[in-house]
Structures are given as C-alpha cells and as structure tokens.
Amino acid sequence: MEENITAHSYQISQKERMALNNHKPLLIWFTGLSGSGKSTIANLVEHSLFKRGIKTYALDGDNIRKGINNDLSFSPQDRTENIRRIAEVSKLMIDAGLVVLAAFVSPNKKDRQDIRTIVKDANFVEIYVNTSIEECERRDVKGLYKKARAGEIKNMTGISAPYEAPDNPEIEIETENEPIEDSVKRIVDYIIPKLKLNNE
C-alpha cells in the first residue's frame, strides 16, 4: 500500500513559516512520573514564551488520550504507540513552525530516543522533571497512586511498571529542591537562544 502514497509538496516552506513567526520551531519534551509536576511546569513555560510572542502549542497526556489516542491502553506496546503518534503530531507542528511543549510520563528511554529521531535532534529538548515516587504519591493529584496500590490500575508507572530516567537530559528539574519559579526561568533561559533565527 505504501507504494501508492506520495508526499505532496506545498508552496510554503518551513523556512518561510519561521520567518513569519520570527523564531525557530522546537519540541520541549517533559518526562517524569505522574504527579511530578510536568504539566504545571510546561504550562508556566508556555505562558512565559507566549508573552514573548513565541507561537506555542501544548500537548498533554490526558488530553491526547481522550482524543487521538483514545483507542490505546496502558500496555507496554500501546504506551510505545502512544508516544510514536505524539512524536509524529509534534513533527507536523514543528513543520508548521511552532514551539511544542509535550508533557508525558514517557517511561521508556528507547521511546524517547525514537522521538528525538523522528523530530530530529536539533528540534528536541528533553526535560526530566525529577520528583521522587514518595512525593508523587503524597501529592497524588489525580488519585492514581491510591487506585494503583489498591490494584485498581494495572501498569502504573512507578508502582507496577518501571520508569527509566533519562541519562543525559538537556535539563533536570528537582521539584522537591527548587522553587517552581526558578525551574521555569531556567528552562526559558535555555530555550530562548535556541529559537533565534540565524540572521538575528
């Protein structure tokens, strides 16, 4: 079937979109346990970039699961497919010239490496939101850990499924030791230079 598929070339290039936006595109990938603070930090980083005139869009685990990936379970195979689809969506958004902020547990190193391959290394920033399982359980914002401990949720990362921490993330945030305002500033300060066009 693939031999019948031909990519269509449109007249507007990514370079032209970048010039219109006045910044480069980027995928900022937040990984960490459920309850680590990924979505909260991503939201604040996006708000800071938006105020600077950066064209952004945020992708979040629950929102994606309710829509494009609502046919997937939390089995290891479906987790990998979940991340693959998100990477492909992010690739399209990067082609559109956007800065994408993606907050997903994404527990497997290989899956995260595959994202980097799909969107290209220059377009990818991995942020490890490092929060202990004890603190995530204490917060338990969504009540997931309580259900997992009661056996109501299977394949819960950190409880009944493993989380493989990044070896060399571009940024590591230890939420238990760093005020959230400082974390956000550190991320934004790292991101801004990467968005500048070559002629700036």
Q: What digits encode the pLDDT tens for the residues 120-156?
A: 999 999 999 999 999 999 998 888 988 889 888 888 8
Rounded mean pLDDT, 75-104 = 93
Out of 49-53, 108-112, 142-146, 182-186, which region has the weakest mean confidence (pLDDT)? 142-146
Clarify whether 13 is annotated catalytic.
no
**Would you say residue 198 has pLDDT above 80?**
no
Instruction: Report whether 48 contacts 188 (CB < 8 A).
Output: yes
Tell me how far apart the alpha carbons of residues 183 and 76 are, in angstroms, rounded to a whole number: 31
pLDDT on residue 4: 65
> Which pLDDT does position 2 carry in this prediction?
62
Backbone angles phi, psi at 69, to 5 degrees: -115, 30
Confidence label for 5 from pLDDT (cuts 50, 70 and 90): low
What are the φ/ψ torsions at residue 28 (nearest 5 degrees)? -105, 110
pLDDT at 28: 98
Going by the DSSP 8-state scheme, the letter that residue 178 receives in this structure is: S
User: Which residue in the block uniquely carries the two structure tokens 């994408």?
Assistant: 100
Q: Bigger pLDDT: 190 or 152?
A: 190
> Average pLDDT in the 101-129 region?
95
Calculate Rg over the CA atoms of the chain: 18
- pLDDT at residue 18 greater than cutoff 60: yes
Task: Give the largest CA-CA distance in the chain.
Answer: 57
Active-site residue, selected from the candidate residues 73, 106, 132, 160: 106
